[in-house]
Amino acid sequence: MALSSHWSLRVASFISVVVIASSLVIDAASPADAVRITAVANVTLRATPSPTAPAIAQIPLGTEVRDSGPAGLDKTWVLVRLGDTREGWVQARLTKPLDPVWRWPVFDAIVAERLERRGDGFPAGVELVAFIERVAPEYTDKDGRARIELARLRALSRAAAAIPFNGSRREPYASWLSTRSADVVYDEPGGHWMVRDAAIWASHARHAATPVADDIAWFAVTAGLPGECEGSVSCYFSAMNRLHGEYLRAHPAGRHAAEAVAAVNTLVTSVAPAGSVSR
């Protein structure tokens, strides 16, 4: 009788171990909380894991989706679920796993990758600006806020520059520009849209206490000013003062100080009479 009870206990223990192990396998295969974020513009959600499968939806840059597929696999395609419960397949390389706690490193990586690209059109530029502005509140430290603000300015510049000549009179450009009058301005001689220098310097003032302020100030210099001096010496000096001069006043020992001084010196020597500039 004692022997039978002993074996019964061992069998019961074995069954419990099997049940627990099975539940762990099921949990590992169904990562209910696994989240991915689309890392490019216009990701296609497809009915099956094939590039020729019917499209279910187009997913904008920065959309968070639930990973519905098995965990721990090296996947070319992933099965995901949208917020409206639609499910479909996307190419894994077009998404990134999103840590629920440390989200900003993934945001930084996506923004850096998009800003390094060349040749993106207006829609991709607008999506990047919208993504940055959506995630910016999640940057709670001052350096992070300055970093994402510089990225926003660069993305704005990309989007504005992608507007074709006379494009402001038609959609989708007109609607976007109507909401960005404080951020961008049209450069008539250059025939393109650009970020306003006042908007850049306002951002610089908000983040002046951070190391990124140096980069924001230099972005103002490289972005330039709208208009054309048309040979006016006083205009050239005024523009130089608003750009390189402002940079040097804000960052006299900045990373680009030598470059700014050299630009000023080049302007002075180019317009001064020969031999009139003392060294």
Q: 50 falls in which pLDDT band (50, 70, 90)?
A: very high
Tell me the C-alpha distance between 264 and 236, whole Å: 10
DSSP 30: -
Q: Which pair of tokens denotes residue 55?
A: 């499209």
Q: Per-residue pLDDT tens for 263-274?
A: 999 998 887 654
pLDDT at 6: 46
Q: Give one DSSP letter per residue of 144-181, joined into a string.
A: HHHHHHHHHHHHHHHHHHTSPTTGGGSTTHHHHHHT-T
What percent of the chain has pLDDT above 70?
A: 84
What are residue 90's DSSP bridge partners?
78
The residue type at 245: G
Residues carrying CATH 2.30.30.40, the chain:
31-99
Tell me the C-alpha distance between 123 and 164, whole Å: 12
Average pLDDT, the chain: 86
How much is the average pLDDT of 72-76? 65
Tell me the C-alpha distance between 89 and 261, whole Å: 54
What's the chain's length in residues?
A: 279
| Helix, strand, or coil (residue 192) | strand
- Peptide bond before residue 100 is cis, with ω within 30 degrees of 0: no
pLDDT at 120: 86
- Architecture of the domain whose range is 31-99: Roll (2.30)
Is a pLDDT exceeding 80 seen at residue 234? yes
Dihedral (Cα; 239, 242, 243, 245), 10-degree rounding: 110
